[in-house]
């Protein structure tokens, strides 16, 4: 029988079509026939240890577990026959023997699979009178609360660790009555996807710690939204009670996030209640900000913007919605300035003229799982875009090879077949070596390929489906243009897909609607290109409009930002969160609705337009960004701001950006570029942003900041460098860059190449320094 032949089985008298090899439960699930289960999960391997899905199969001597019974042609199954029911009820009774009756104080109560199934299959009265077991709890970190007495040993969380997170942290120790799920040696679990075990747990053994005892399931209303910390655009359900977001859980979308979300997406909502939310418009008067009415603040802002004209520089967060982005560029351009950018952390704009029309992963997310060879360039994919890393990990499980050229020996949850770890300044030549091995143009960089580079080239070339992915560190690299050009040449020479993975949730959207100095909506070129983010900050704009930007942490070079703020005549900030620099320099602060408080659209890195509604009222006097921009447009007399809803804005965007699809093809190469970073011996900073410092929300989520993944304030160097400098871990060191300095504790980390200092943009203390990548000096305080 060939693999794709269909067979027919009969379930409860119903004829169903199936493929040989499928498990019975897959067929019944697809047909909507309820079979109770605890351990089975469609994304995990079959364990068949809970025995709840027992069904009667004709000609089988005893009930069989539907999750582990492959279908065969002509199979006759009864899911509700007396035999099946008896088996299910028997299993249920055993499962409840040791389960505590603490539903009234259990967070899972009301959304508990055990509770639900017990209603259908349990008995009214327990026949068990002996002592129940009690299990000691372990502290497994700030995200997950444990109550292991409730555990029914389905092992979903254990299998998740091995199969999806790629990190076995939980296990089942002991045997029989003494078996328990835990970490054995107490420590905080460190996977960036760990929160998913909260959803997987069918009982109240693993629950959300930040959500603990906050609400009952039935008090919450569930609304749909889209997460905004990376370009995946994971679909989420937001759980709301009394106008407050209390929890975020995944919403299934096979094409985007499957059934998972990263911890960042799950717990960042905590920031919404932060003390630092701006809840009232603020105006500077006599040197200090004071609270003001909206009319007054808007009038002030409009006046400042209008006066600025072509001197206006606008910086828009790459996480802003498509509507906000569209209106912000319309406002800026209507006022006569094309100085607008969303690439706040990028520092190399020399290749703007050859920019891809609309950056994306180069293939649909799901296709990453079938890559045979993938080269990561400047990417800690695991922490930068955790769900894309999950897809790529699937490719490794299927036998694919992943290789990397990185400025830090980042740890991945799969082995790298080839890896080059080098100082940022040598990344260009490392990549050029791969190009040279292929005989491709290396953008003028001449280099003799070594064995590793030849091996990389060979794997890419021989892959039926391959990818070369430029990650966050590559995008923030001072030689991004070169890296991108060489990567494109390699992609062309090998037939691999070029993937661009910049930081930010809506970068593709920003390209769609022209939040770029050199592109209009629809990607049409601007004849007289405006100034890019870096040049705007270099003192060329006397009026700054900051849209959802934390000036200290969201830019490539805080030193430039600080000077720009100090030197500007007027600073208008539309912002959700307060920050010391806004306090010090902003003239007008307009409170912005944050995640969940506004409707809008995000375009992810595979080009999906994902619209969502506001699910709660904005906090205090905050207002949705599109409305603020609309009023500013109206007050400044710019035409084309008569929108009544985000739908109307989106309709206009659809017209303006008609026909634009994700496209990584670069334009005609700009004249030969020289590497910006010199390969001299001085120390170099590696400053790619850390997982929980990516945006204002993650930085203000106490739970995320308490995890092992959060960046501990400090600068990391290789132990041999520390030894040469006579330093030990914990020493307070002074870091200096371009005339500014910061003192931070020294940390030793042998993943960092020699002569480098790993200090991410956006990390505590980095606001006192300059460019994320570039020369840095270090001395003992």
Q: Which residues bind other proteins (CB under 8 A)?
A: 45, 47, 49, 155, 158-159, 161-163, 166-175, 183-185, 396-397, 411-415
Cβ closest to other proteins, residue 31 vs residue 172 = 172
Least distance from other proteins to the Cβ atom of residue 463, Å: 20
**Closest approach of other proteins to the CB of residue 499, in Å:** 22
How many C-beta atoms lie closer than 10 Å to residue 617's C-beta? 11
Q: Which is nearer to other proteins, 157 or 331 (CB)?
A: 157
Least separation in angstroms between CB 140 and other proteins: 12
Residue from 439, 471, 441, 444 nearest 375 by CA: 471
Residue 697: CB partners within 8 Å, gap ≥ 6? Answer: 228, 229, 268, 269, 271, 272, 594, 595
Nearer to other proteins, 719 or 777 (CB): 719
Q: Which single residue is written with the structure tokens 């304030």? A: 713
- Shortest Å, Cβ 133 to other proteins: 16
Q: Which helix (H) or strand (E) holds 580?
A: helix 580-585
Dihedral (Cα; 16, 18, 23, 25), 10-degree rounding: -30
Rounded to whole angstroms, the Cα distance separating 642 from 665 reads 35
Instruction: Evaluate whether 420 touches 405 at the Cβ level (below 8 Å).
Output: yes
How far apart, in whole angstroms, are the C-alpha atoms of residue 71 and residue 18? 7
- Compute the radius of gyration of the chain from its Cα atoms: 28
| Interatomic CA distance for residues 730 and 558, integer angstroms | 25
- Name residues whose C-beta falls within 8 Å of residue 245's C-beta, 6 or more positions apart in sequence: 238, 239, 269, 272, 595, 596, 615, 616
Q: How far is the CB of 184 from other proteins (least distance, A)?
A: 4
- Smallest gap, in angstroms, from Cβ of residue 383 to other proteins? 14
Q: Give least dist CB 255 to other proteins, A.
A: 24
For residue 127, give both structure tokens: 């026949």
- Kindly write down the DSSP assignment for every residue of 416-436, as one continuous string: -SEEEE--HHHHHHHHHHHHH
Token representation of residue 122: 């349990």
Min separation Cβ 420 and other proteins, Å: 17
CA-closest candidate to residue 36, choices 148, 141, 146, 113 = 113
Closer by beta carbon to other proteins, 45 or else 462: 45
Query: In angstroms, rounded to a whole number, what is the distance separating the alpha carbons of residues 203 and 33?
Result: 22
- Spatial CB neighbours of 221, under 8 Å, sequence gap ≥ 6: 239, 240, 241
Nearer to other proteins, 390 or 518 (CB): 390
Instruction: Tell the smallest beta-carbon distance from residue 131 to other proteins (Å).
Output: 20
CA distance 718 to 501: 28
Nearer to other proteins, 398 or 781 (CB): 398
21 exposure class (CB count in 10 Å sphere: 0-12, 13-18, 19+): exposed
Nearer to other proteins, 412 or 758 (CB): 412
First to last CA, the chain: 75
Cβ neighbours for 124, distance < 8 A, ≥ 6 positions apart: none
Q: Between residues 59 and 175, which has the closer beta carbon with respect to other proteins?
A: 175
Cβ at position 168, least distance to other proteins in Å: 4
Minimum distance between the CB of residue 375 and other proteins, rounded to whole angstroms? 18
| Closer residue to other proteins (CB): 147 or 169 | 169
What DSSP assignment string belongs to 202-222?
SSSSEEESTTTTT--GGG-EE
Q: Which is nearer to other proteins, 168 or 461 (CB)?
A: 168
Q: Which is nearer to other proteins, 53 or 140 (CB)?
A: 140
Please say whether the beta carbons of 406 and 421 come within 8 A.
Answer: yes
């Amino acid at each position: 029988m060939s693999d794709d032949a269909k067979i027919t089985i009969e379930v409860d008298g119903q004829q169903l079509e199936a493929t040989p090899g499928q498990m019975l439960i897959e067929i019944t699930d697809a047909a909507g026939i309820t079979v109770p289960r605890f351990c089975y999960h469609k994304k995990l391997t079959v364990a068949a240890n809970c025995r709840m899905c027992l069904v009667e199969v004709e000609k089988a001597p005893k009930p069989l577990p539907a999750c582990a019974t492959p279908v065969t042609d002509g199979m006759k199954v009864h899911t509700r026959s007396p035999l099946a029911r008896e088996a299910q009820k028997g299993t249920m009774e055993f499962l409840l023997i040791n389960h505590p009756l603490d539903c009234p104080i259990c967070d899972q109560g009301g959304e508990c699979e055990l509770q639900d199934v017990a209603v259908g299959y349990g008995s009214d009265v327990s026949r068990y009178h002996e002592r129940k077991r009690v299990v000691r709890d372990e502290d497994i970190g700030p995200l997950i609360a444990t109550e292991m007495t409730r555990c029914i040993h389905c092992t979903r969380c254990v299998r998740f660790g091995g199969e999806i997170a790629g990190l076995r942290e939980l296990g089942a120790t002991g045997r029989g009555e003494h078996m328990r799920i835990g970490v054995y040696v107490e420590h905080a679990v460190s996977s960036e996807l760990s929160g998913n075990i909260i959803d997987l747990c069918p009982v109240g053994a693993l629950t959300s710690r930040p959500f603990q005892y906050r609400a009952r399931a039935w008090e919450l209303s569930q609304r749909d939204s889209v997460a905004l910390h990376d370009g995946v655009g994971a679909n989420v359900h937001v759980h709301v009670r009394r106008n407050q977001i209390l929890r975020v859980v995944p919403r299934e979308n096979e094409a985007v996030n499957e059934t998972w979300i990263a911890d960042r997406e799950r717990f960042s909502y905590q920031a919404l209640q932060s003390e630092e939310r701006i809840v009232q418009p603020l105006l500077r008067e006599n040197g200090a900000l004071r609270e003001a009415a909206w009319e007054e603040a808007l009038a002030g802002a409009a006046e400042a913007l209008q006066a600025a004209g072509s001197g206006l520089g606008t910086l828009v967060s790459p996480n802003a919605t498509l509507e906000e982005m569209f209106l912000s560029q319309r406002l800026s351009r209507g006022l006569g300035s094309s100085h607008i950018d969303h690439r706040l952390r990028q520092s190399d704009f020399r290749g703007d003229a050859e920019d891809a029309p609309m950056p994306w992963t180069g293939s649909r997310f799901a296709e990453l799982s079938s890559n045979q060879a993938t080269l990561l360039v400047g990417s800690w994919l695991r922490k930068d875009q955790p769900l894309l890393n999950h897809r790529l990990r699937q490719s490794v499980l299927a036998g694919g090879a992943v290789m990397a050229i990185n400025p830090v020996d980042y740890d991945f949850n799969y082995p790298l077949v080839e890896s080059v770890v080098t100082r940022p300044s040598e990344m260009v030549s490392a990549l050029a070596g791969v190009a040279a091995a292929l005989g491709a143009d290396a953008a003028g960089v001449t280099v003799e390929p070594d064995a590793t580079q030849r091996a990389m080239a060979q794997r890419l070339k021989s892959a039926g489906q391959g990818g070369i992915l430029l990650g966050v560190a590559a995008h923030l690299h001072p030689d991004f243009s070169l890296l991108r050009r060489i990567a494109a040449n390699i992609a062309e020479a090998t037939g691999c897909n070029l993937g661009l993975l910049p930081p930010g949730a809506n970068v593709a959207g920003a390209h769609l609607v022209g939040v770029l100095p050199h592109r209009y909506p629809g990607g049409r070129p601007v004849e007289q290109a405006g100034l890019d983010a870096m040049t705007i900050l270099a003192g060329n704009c006397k009026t700054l409009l900051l849209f959802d930007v934390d000036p200290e942490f969201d830019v490539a070079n805080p030193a430039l930002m600080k000077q720009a703020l100090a030197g500007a005549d007027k600073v208008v900030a539309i912002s959700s969160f307060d920050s010391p620099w806004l306090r010090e320099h902003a003239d007008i602060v307009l409170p912005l609705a944050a995640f969940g408080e506004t409707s809008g659209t995000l375009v992810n890195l595979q080009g999906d337009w994902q619209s969502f509604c506001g699910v709660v009222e904005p906090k205090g006097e905050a207002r949705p960004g599109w409305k603020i921009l609309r009023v500013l447009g109206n007050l400044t007399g710019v035409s084309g701001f008569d929108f009544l809803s985000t739908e109307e804005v989106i309709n206009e965007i659809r017209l303006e950006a008609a026909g634009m699809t994700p496209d990584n093809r670069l334009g005609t190469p700009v004249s030969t570029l020289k590497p910006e970073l010199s390969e001299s011996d001085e120390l170099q900073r590696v400053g790619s942003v850390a997982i929980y410092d990516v945006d204002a929300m993650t930085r203000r989520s106490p739970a995320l900041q308490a995890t092992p993944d959060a960046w501990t304030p400090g600068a990391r160097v290789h132990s041999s460098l520390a030894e040469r400098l006579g330093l030990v871990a914990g020493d307070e060191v002074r870091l200096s860059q371009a005339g500014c300095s910061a003192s931070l504790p020294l940390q030793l980390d042998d993943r960092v190449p020699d002569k480098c200092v790993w200090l991410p943009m956006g990390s505590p203390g980095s606001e006192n320094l300059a460019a994320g990548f570039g020369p840095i000096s270090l001395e003992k305080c």
